Amino acid sequence: MSIAEDAPPRKTGFRFERWAPLILLVGAFVIYVGIALATDQAQYLTFDNLIAILGRSIALGITAIGQTFVILVASIDLSVASLISATAVLASVVMDGSPAMIVPAVLAAVALGGVVGVTNGLVVSGLKVNPLIATLGMSLIIQGCLSAFVSNFAGEVPEAFQVFAYGEVGPFPLALLFLAAMAVIAWAVLKFTKFGSDMYAVGGNEEAARFAGIKTGRIVVLSHVICSVCAAIAGLYLASRLRSGAPWIGSDGVYDLESIAVVVIGGTVLAGGRGGIWGTMAGMLIFSLIDSVFNIAGVDSFAKQVLRGIIIVAAVAFYAIRSKRIVA
């Protein structure tokens, strides 16, 4: 999305870009605490309440982890929202209230994610279709197929599977620990494996990566698979939370655009090659803190939407403004 200029590398001790997400996060937290104190609602500052705030954005967090992988290889995935709906419906229809079908349902959902991811990846890397268009087309196809079959809540999630969304381990919700585990795994993959460093190479400069002997097509396909499987897991989580699959769950949550916004606020560059998981997690926290600030400040829901749009742009501008490159 942007052309790098030949700027000489600046050597400074403090790399602003690296810390920008953390600065934003601290800023959002300070605002949250400030508003809660100013409006005399100290009950919002308890540990339980903070956990509850996090719990609301687990699906977004899981999706955003996957989205980080595709954006790192300079691709993008707009099909996650409809994939979330599709997997939520698929899983809940397969389970249909019977605990014995949990494993097949989970496998089916993950397999659907895998197929969509492989298709996305092959269309992007093989046919060289712009990823925005490829995944947008995929999103239309999935949503079309889904709404041809289902128009209302479908299937039923058995009690045993609702543990995924409602279970608790000590003071923490199970799903939150699951999200944290996924983040740690994703971080380890990016940091310590060859696949991780190959991803940064492909995202930074695909041509150079190919000349260096990296099978770039394979890397792109694999990152799309990871993204789609993450979306499938988010779909499973939402099915468990709603106790049934709804075909509008993904598009209602705007998970496609919001996950991209979260990743970008977390400092991962849309042009690829720079960023990481912890930024994305910070982005997710910033998003949920902003939502909570609006809630305790009692902002009107339409005004909330206006402010949200402005905040997304402002947060990205916060560190993008220092870059010397020409963006489009």
Partner 1 sequence: MTDRPDTQNAKRRLPQINPVWILLAALIVAIIFMNPGFVEPTGYMNFLKRAAPLAILAAGQVYVITSGGFDLSVGSLITLVVVGSSMLTNNDPTATYWVIPVMLGIGLGVGALNGLIVCFLRVPSLIATLGMMITLNGVAFLWSGGAPRGYLPDTFRFFGRELIRDVPLVRFIPISVIVLVVVVGLFAWLMHRTNLGRHVHAIGDNPVAARLAGVAVNRVRVTAFMLSGLSGAIAGILLGGFAGVSTDVGTGYELQAITAAVLGGAQLLGGRGSVPAAVGGALALTAIFTLLNFLGLPQPVRQVVQGLILIAAVALAMHRRKQTGT
Query: Which residues form the interface with partner 1 (CB under 8 A)?
Result: 1-3, 5, 123, 127-130, 132-134, 136-141, 143-148, 257, 260-261, 264, 270-271, 300, 302-310, 312-313, 316-317, 320-321, 323, 325-328
| Tokens standing for residue 8 | 């000489």
Q: Which residues contact 65 (CB under 8 A, 6 or more apart)?
A: 182, 183, 186, 230, 277, 280
Q: Which residues contact 77 (CB under 8 A, 6 or more apart)?
A: 66, 67, 70, 120, 131, 135, 224, 227, 228, 231, 256
CB of 85 to partner 1, least distance (A): 13
In sign, the C-alpha dihedral spanning 21, 23, 25, 31 is negative
Give the integer Cα–Cα distance in Å for 11 and 278: 23
CB of 14 to partner 1, least distance (A): 20
Q: Which residues are registered as beta bridge partners of 168? A: 173
Give the integer Cα–Cα distance in Å for 95 and 93: 5
CB of 311 to partner 1, least distance (A): 8
Q: What angle do CA 113, 119, 122 make, to 5 degrees?
A: 135
Closer CB to partner 1, 198 or 256, in the complex = 256
CB of 104 to partner 1, least distance (A): 26
Q: Which pairing describes strands 172-173 and 2-3: parallel, antiparallel, or unpaired?
A: unpaired
CB of 312 to partner 1, least distance (A): 4
CB of 133 to partner 1, least distance (A): 5
Give the integer Cα–Cα distance in Å for 228 and 183: 16
Give the integer Cα–Cα distance in Å for 170 and 224: 35
Closer CB to partner 1, 134 or 165, in the complex = 134
